[in-house]
Amino acid sequence: MSGDGVTGRGYRPHRRTPTAAVARGVERRFQIAGLFRHQVNKVFPWHFSFLWGEIALYSFVVLVGSGVFLTLFYVPSMDELVYQGSYVPTSGLEGSRAWISTMQLSIDVRGGLFVRQLHHWSALVFLAAVMLHMGRIFFTGAYRAPREINWFLGVAMLVLAIFEGYLGYSMIDDLLSGTGVRIFSGILLSVPVIGTWLHWLVFSGEYPGEIVVERFFIAHVLLIPAILAGLIVLHLAVVWYQKHTQFAGPPAGEGNVVGNRTLPVFSLHSVSMLLGVTGVLGLLAGVAQINPIFHYGPYNPTQVSNGSQPDWYALWLIGSLKLFPRVDIAVFGRYTVPAGFWAGVAIPLVLILLLLAWPLVDRLRTRDRELHNLLDRPRDDAARTAIGVMALTFWGVLTVAGADDIAATVFQIPLEGLRWAERGALLILPPLAYVITRRVCLRLQRSDRDALAGGVATGIVEETTEGTYRSVQQPFVGVDPEGGEHPPRYDGARIPKVPAREHAEGSS
């Protein structure tokens, strides 16, 4: 057998290739084969809700790739020039070099508009996937010990991603984005005592200044992406080390992970997800126009576009500014805290801090100090799910209010009346959502308990000895490790509401 190159340890070809020589040399010096073998055998559980994190990761990859291309053509300068490009409707307009270079990229560079729209759609999908991913973590309790650190990382990534999207949207210096920068300037100036210093730090003087685009460019291209990339790597490293959470159900338990190994199934799945996300984003970039700056024109501080709206993730902040009463507060007779501070700084800051501190708040609420590797179904913790829905309702009302001027125009509704209705909804709907969600969760819990106690209806009706008819129920039976039967207990797994096939066939 040795003549065929087969030994007791498997097949070994006699031919020495450069790759084999390099592999042997690395192994002799670092002994990494055992570590690599252990890592490629790592198991990842499967559930459709786990896809949000992957979509966010691969959207970020597309963001970085398309952003590198755009950086080659974009000029971060506020120097005024006259546009003399190919787009006739804006020919002869004065604008900054930032706007003109973006116009040339969109109109004159082959594929430039496609890559711009790919970059913008990737940012929107990235933020949506991050929010959905964090929502899944919240409603399933995946933030509990020992994974609090990943929740903190996720909140930091969400906040940074919102700022990153805003900076990229703003540094084009068109009429729409310039309006958003003007709002940002007002929010900075509303901060008591240090507002003027913060404004100077960003704008280096009065609005709009001459270097804000350059500063936005540095933050958007260098600082925030580097921090985001570092946080993503750290997040993935923590997930890899602590193992992925999973839903309960045989044979999944607190001490094991049930799913697919890294190679070949999970890795092939990840590659297919990357290609699928890239394809969908490319399709959106090709058929769905977004941020057409050639329609808006260059920024002019004396003009505002009719119906100006930011990207969807910033609508809630605009809604907060619209709904908060115009109440200025005087402090010590010397300082005035304008209404914009409460709506534009205080409310967002409180919401972010509450989101960041939630694992600690939840620990105080439940007195739970245990380590958790199994996820909850949202119904299992009615109070937590109700709090989450209440927060989403609050955010949703603010988001709708951010676009209320468009709604008022389209549906011919008086804007002032609509705004008062939104203020009322902001006070009424979140508590109502809490009550309804909690009652629904408790009813679902009762449904599970009833199914465990009484079994599942098989759809079969039989006649009793008394001549009456009754529905045949398929009972649940628990089995202990020794094989003995006991009444079933709810362990967090999904309770089947459809009878087993073999039981139904046997009963018929």
How many residues make up the chain in this entry?
508
* Matching residue, tokens 């949506």: 128
Please state, in angstroms and rounded to a whole number, the distance separating the CA atoms of residues 165 and 79.
24
Judged by average pLDDT, the poorest of 83-87, 372-376, 494-498 is 494-498
| Structural tokens at position 334 | 């010397």
Alpha carbon of residue 120 to chain centroid = 16
All domains of the chain in start order, with CATH: 43-302+319-376 (1.20.810.10), 455-507 (no CATH)
Averaged over 108-134, what is the pLDDT? Answer: 97
Which run of H or E residues covers position 453? helix 415-454
Please tell me the number of Cα atoms within 13 Å of 106 on its side-chain side: 21
Averaged over 317-346, what is the pLDDT? Answer: 87
| Contact predicate 168/217, CB 8 Å | no
Please state, in angstroms and rounded to a whole number, the distance separating the CA atoms of residues 193 and 109.
47
Residue 508 has pLDDT above 60, yes or no: no
Judged by average pLDDT, the poorest of 200-204, 310-314, 475-479 is 475-479
Judged by average pLDDT, the poorest of 30-34, 161-165, 250-254, 417-421 is 30-34
Instruction: From 289, 99, 286, select the one nearest 176 (Cα to Cα).
Output: 99
Residue 455, classed as helix, strand or coil, is coil
| pLDDT tier, 306 (very low <50, low <70, confident <90, very high otherwise) | confident
pLDDT per position as a tens digit, 384-402: 999 999 999 999 999 999 9
Q: Determine the pLDDT at residue 262.
A: 87
Averaged over 271-291, what is the pLDDT? Answer: 96
Judged by average pLDDT, the poorest of 6-20, 139-153, 220-234 is 6-20
Residue 308, classed as helix, strand or coil, is coil
Q: Determine the pLDDT at residue 504.
A: 40
Q: Determine the pLDDT at residue 3.
A: 47
* Matching residue, tokens 């398929």: 474
| Structural tokens at position 157 | 């990534």
Q: Determine the pLDDT at residue 446.
A: 92
Selected residue with higher pLDDT from 157 and 248: 157
Q: Determine the pLDDT at residue 2.
A: 47
| Contact predicate 433/389, CB 8 Å | yes
Q: Determine the pLDDT at residue 435.
A: 98
Q: Determine the pLDDT at residue 170.
A: 93
Q: Determine the pLDDT at residue 479.
A: 57
Residue 467, classed as helix, strand or coil, is coil
Q: Determine the pLDDT at residue 301.
A: 85
Can you point out the beta strands (E) in 30-93?
A: 43-44, 80-82
Q: Determine the pLDDT at residue 12.
A: 54
| pLDDT tier, 500 (very low <50, low <70, confident <90, very high otherwise) | low
* Matching residue, tokens 């933020």: 127
Residue 448 has pLDDT above 50, yes or no: yes
Selected residue with higher pLDDT from 176 and 470: 176
Q: What is the DSSP string of 391-417?
A: HHHHHHHHHHHHTHHHHHHHTT--HHH
Q: Which residues pair with 81 in a beta bridge?
A: 95
Please state, in angstroms and rounded to a whole number, the distance separating the CA atoms of residues 52 and 190.
37
Residue 14 has pLDDT above 70, yes or no: no
What's the chain's average pLDDT?
A: 88
